[in-house]
Amino acid sequence: MSFLLGILIFVLALLFSIMLHETGHFVTAKKFGMKVTQYFVGFGQTLWSTRRGETEYGVKAIPAGGFVKIVGMTELEEVDPADEPRSFRRQPGWQRIIVLAAGSFMHFVLAFVLLFVVAVFIGQANPGASTTVGAVDACVPANLSSTCTASRPPSPAKRVGIRAGDKIVAIAGTPVRNWTQMGQVIRRQPSGKPVAVIVQRGGRQVILHPNLAVVTGRHGSYLGISPNIVFQRSGPLAGVGYAGSQFGQIMAGSAGVVASLPKAIPDLFAKNRSSTPGGNVTSVVGAADATGQVVAAPISWQARVSVVLLIIASLNIFVGAFNLLPLLPLDGGHLAIVIYERCRAWLARLRGKPDPGPVDFRRLVPVSVGVFALLVGFGLLLIMADLVNPVHIIQ
């Protein structure tokens, strides 16, 4: 039930993001006096619609996007002579640029607000703030990337009875005050020999003697515990700084994901997809699955909410940035054409020549169709991979 709730949360957030994107186009176009005839969420057959003034609002059957119909988006469109003065193509270049960029701008605003909410109202995860145990590993993993199987031995912590909620006071006679210091002390202890671990439990201290283990690929000894994550809230100014910093990191990560697309394709159906570039590339199906995993995970409510908000913020940043790529039929492709037309007109004026006018869209139609087909094909490939070989973010 929790998993399905997570998927529902993601779908609603996705629809809200789509509406916000189209609202950006809609509001700016209306502000500049352009004629907007349709505002729809989804594609395909119309499920519901209503008309207010000159605009039809509605919902279509396939919730895979949305659109705002602005009269005269290209020179190929036939426009009633009475509507021509209000058509998109007849407006100043700077107004058209604002309308085209407004959709991505709304994605960026939503992402920034969500990151601010995480910092100020939920808090940033600080696993090193204390030595309280949050979870005990069930087994000694074969290596850093493997999970527990029936053949693996219990972790040292589980074997001696360390529990979630225990606060570790000292290890091998060394007092420990935070998780980082405690990890350093654990790693330098000899493995295979009893080590005195003092824990505070229920107002009293208990001394336990686990035999620390060794995990392939890990430096030093292994006890098998995870921290009790403390969430520390920030003030408004620090929240703005956190949101800006995270926004930049996610934007850089999104660029890395796009750059890794060619390399990721062969890994989409690999058994170890999670540890390959293919694990970083996912469709909305994969993102919905990840949200469901987080909501269903046995973690604190702060962890659930913060991770879900980070997933939604990351999705909005990626979509906003991807939409600005100079490729038709994306908004970025139309932006590039407007900028090209204005630069060409400016150079013509410098040479004392007339404005060359708009770009001939007929030459660009094959390019637009080819890019659209490529995007649809790759999107279907990602959906297939997420259905048959999903990435498990919660182990």
Choosing from 228, 249, 265, the residue where a domain stops is 228
Where does the pLDDT of residue 128 fall: very low under 50, low under 70, confident under 90, or very high at 90 and above?
low
Residue 221 and residue 251 in one domain: no
Choosing from 197, 228, 259, the residue where a domain stops is 228
The CATH number given to whatever domain includes residue 196 is 2.30.42.10
Residue 258 and residue 195 in one domain: no
Residue 221 and residue 262 in one domain: no
Q: How far is CA 18 from CA 42, 194, 349, in A?
A: 9, 58, 40
Average pLDDT over residues 372-378: 84
Residue 275 and residue 395 in one domain: yes
Q: Which two tokens stand for residue 223?
A: 């006890």
- Residue 346, domain member (yes or no): yes
| pLDDT score at 127 | 66
Average pLDDT over residues 159-179: 92
pTM: 0.78
- Residue 283, domain member (yes or no): yes
Q: What residues contact residue 245 under an 8 Å CB cut-off, 6+ apart?
A: none
Average pLDDT over residues 215-234: 84
Residue 249 and residue 212 in one domain: no
- Residue 254, domain member (yes or no): yes
Choosing from 180, 213, 228, the residue where a domain stops is 228
Number of domains comprising the chain: 2
Average pLDDT over residues 249-258: 85
Q: Is 356 helix (H, G, I), strand (E, B) or coil?
A: coil
Which domain does 159 fall in, by range?
133-228
Partners of 40 in beta bridges: 58, 67
pLDDT above 70 coverage of the chain, percent: 95
Measured CA to CA, the distance from residue 98 to residue 29 in angstroms comes to 9
Q: Which two tokens stand for residue 275?
A: 């540890």
- Residue 6, domain member (yes or no): no
Residue 105 and residue 218 in one domain: no
Residue 212 and residue 241 in one domain: no
Residue pair 382/282 in contact (Cβ under 8 Å)? The answer is yes
Chain mean pLDDT for the chain: 88
Which comes out higher in pLDDT, residue 147 or 193? 193
Residue 368 and residue 253 in one domain: yes
Residue 250 and residue 116 in one domain: yes
Residue 203 and residue 142 in one domain: yes
Phi (first) and psi of residue 170, to 5 degrees: -155, 155
What residues act catalytically?
22
- Residue 42, domain member (yes or no): no
Q: What residues contact residue 380 under an 8 Å CB cut-off, 6+ apart?
A: none
- Residue 91, domain member (yes or no): no
- Residue 173, domain member (yes or no): yes
Residue 195 and residue 306 in one domain: no
Measured CA to CA, the distance from residue 334 to residue 353 in angstroms comes to 25
- Residue 153, domain member (yes or no): yes
Q: How many helices (H) and strands (E) would you count in the chain?
A: 10, 10
Measured CA to CA, the distance from residue 264 to residue 258 in angstroms comes to 10
Residue 243 and residue 390 in one domain: yes
Q: How many residues in the chain?
A: 395
